[in-house]
Structure 1
Amino acid sequence: MAGKLSSMTSSARSLHRIRVGSAPDSWGVWFPDDPRQVPWQRFLDEVAEAGYEWIELGPYGYLPTDPARLADETARRGLRVSAGTVFTGLHHGPAVWEETWAHVSAIAGLTRAMGAEHLVVIPSFWRDDKTGQVRESSTLTARQWRDLAAQTERLGREVRERYGLRIVVHPHADTHIDTEENVARFLDATDPRDVSLCLDTGHYAYCGGDSVKLIETYGERIGYLHLKQVDPEVLAGVVAEDLPFGPAVGRGVMCEPPSGVPALEPVLAAAQALDVDLFAIVEQDMYPCPPDRPLPIARRTRRFLRSCGA
């Protein structure tokens, strides 16, 4: 027994640089207001009950946007905020800057007021995640790549200078920053002083990437983690049918750990080896979902991550 306890203690100590949390996404929340989503009070109650201490804001307007009220609601449940999230279409160049900044500034202000230090930046979708309607080409021109890099760097500087936050760009299915090739191209084109990466293990696997390889290759660019797994059998059907991301989620492509890929233990070990403090926020996409489904999954996932030492 003593040897087993010693091994468990050593495992737990090995991931001491990783701070685990969860997000509204793991409760089926994709929109500020939707009758199919659980009320925000229930999300806060249940995420705390599941054993998490850190949360993200989720879609702006889902949680209270008054900093004093949100601070009270989170504090009395023993919760703290790790990041806010914004959506951008910066490959469209300077023409969309003012509109982008109007969206970003309100969220950045609330994020900073809650004591967080990160802003997750998600690129715009090239096709509608519900209907599958193609909005634009799935590939960028050379000019669009230059605009994406330059405008993202500008966003990183402005957010840092005005709000003291660091942006972490989130590769995402059905966006232009998705595959291993496109993620590498984006990182190579941007200044690490201004732009870091939010590695979402599920989205990266969905798009064919290897999370451990990415961490080992671009370790200095990894600023944040989203922990997620993909069901490979469901994914095979999604790819074969060329399903948009929304219907793929409805089919269950993102699954409960540890039943999918990638294995999270090697990802966490590779992240720990960077020897920097990192948030690892659980995000199991399952919109929409029955209101009683998220909490049991969240409890089991938290127990699983503890068994990994996180």
Structure 2
Amino acid sequence: MANPSALDRIRVGSAPDSWGVWFPDDPRQVPWERFLDEVSEAGYDWIELGPYGYLPTDPARLTDELGRRNLKVSAGTVFTGLHRGPAVWDETWTHVSQVAALTRAMGARHLVVIPSFWRDDKTAEILEPPELTAEQWAHLTKGMERLGHEVKEAYGLELVVHPHADTHIDTEDHVERFLDSTDSELVNLCLDTGHYAYCGGDSVKLIETYGERIGYLHLKQVDPDVLAEVVADEVPFGPAVQRGVMCEPPSGVPALGPVLEAAQRLGVELFAIVEQDMYPCEPDKPLPIALRTRRFLRSCGA
């Protein structure tokens, strides 16, 4: 492992996801005030906005709430289905504009884009084929480039696309195809170490091979034993999370120390935001995990 003082380009944070938050409003989720209190207590300086509407969307109020807890925002997040072609552009842009405006108002510079799911994350219903046609790939890549251009022009934000289980950008082959088909001036990658491992990818290899395209990190681990069951049983992502497929570091894979070291060697400043998917979870579960995770990351030098 690197000298703990060496990871000076990595800015660590956490996200509502690590508190079991997947939706703007859900009775099984912790109230947003408690999330902010506890993420600050855990020792994090940076957060993501999470699902739009979970945190206050009034910039003045959110600025005040964050300021009282010494927190700053690293990014906003949106879901898109741009592989469906130009017909979905207007609806997509309406949603993206909302999130991008709040993201910019909070002083953040990144917008994380997650492709839409091909399989329902709760019911396992197959919504679309898991493989895109050549035409759909063209819609996806050109649509993301257009979105990256528009977001940069209108809001000054960098677009980082998040490979995700049960989406069309998931495996190593799909991620590399996406990167090889898009312009680095318009679109880069939010590498989620857990999702990439879930789909069979090697995060260190990706960082070393496509380093100039790594614009943002999500730190996450998978339990290899649970993952093997999930793959064998063809379990969709939501139920897989309920089985505990995403686990507390350092008990899973990939090892985060080497990932952070590889990211540090890129020589650029990067956010590394902890996400441990736990929806739904007991309200008292996240804080102890967050405290231990922050302590572990400090031991890695982050």
Q: Which runs of 5+ in 2 are unaligned?
A: none
Amino acid at match of 1:122: I
Runs of 4+ in 1 over 6 A off after TM superposition: none
Matches within 5 A, 1:166-185: 166-185=158-177
The equivalent of 2:295 in structure 1 is 303
3-state secondary structure, aligned to 1:157: helix
User: Aligned pair 1:73/2:65, yes or no?
Assistant: yes
- Does residue 133 of structure 2 align to residue 141 of structure 1? yes
Amino acid at match of 1:150: K
For the residues of structure 1 that align with 2:78 and 2:22, how far apart are their CA atoms?
12
Deviations 1:14-63 (A, max 9, x none): 10000000000000000000000000000000000000000000000000
Relative to the length of structure 2, the TM-score reads 0.99
**SS state of the match for residue 3, structure 2?**
helix
Q: Could you tell me which amino acid in structure 1 is paired with residue 231 of structure 2?
A: V
Looking at structure 2, the residues matched to 44 and 268 of structure 1 have their Cα atoms a distance apart, in angstroms, of 25
Matched, 1:286 2:290: no
Alpha-carbon deviation of 1:12?
3.2
Which residue identity does 1:189 align to in structure 2? S
- TM-score, structure 1 normalization: 0.97
Identical pairs, percent: 79
Paired position in structure 1 for 2:195: 203
In the alignment, which residue of structure 2 is the partner of 1:192?
184
**Per-residue deviation at 1:214?**
0.2
CA distance in 1, matches of 2:101, 2:74: 14
Structure 2 residue aligned with 1:3: none
How many angstroms apart in 2 are the aligned matches of 1:278 and 1:135? Answer: 35
Please state if 1:11 is matched with 2:6.
no
Q: Which residue of 1 aligns with 2:95?
A: 103
Matched, 1:224 2:216: yes
* Structure 2 residue 43 is the aligned partner of structure 1 residue 21: no
Partner of 2:261: 269
Q: Hey, what does 2:54 align to over in structure 1? A: 62
1:11, distance to aligned residue in structure 2 (A): 2.4
Partner of 2:227: 235
1:214 maps to 2:196: no
Return the letter of the residue paired with 2:207.
I
2:154 aligned partner:
162
Where structure 1 has 5 or more consecutive residues not aligned to the other structure, the ranges are: 1-6
Say what the alpha-carbon RMSD is for the aligned residues. Answer: 0.9
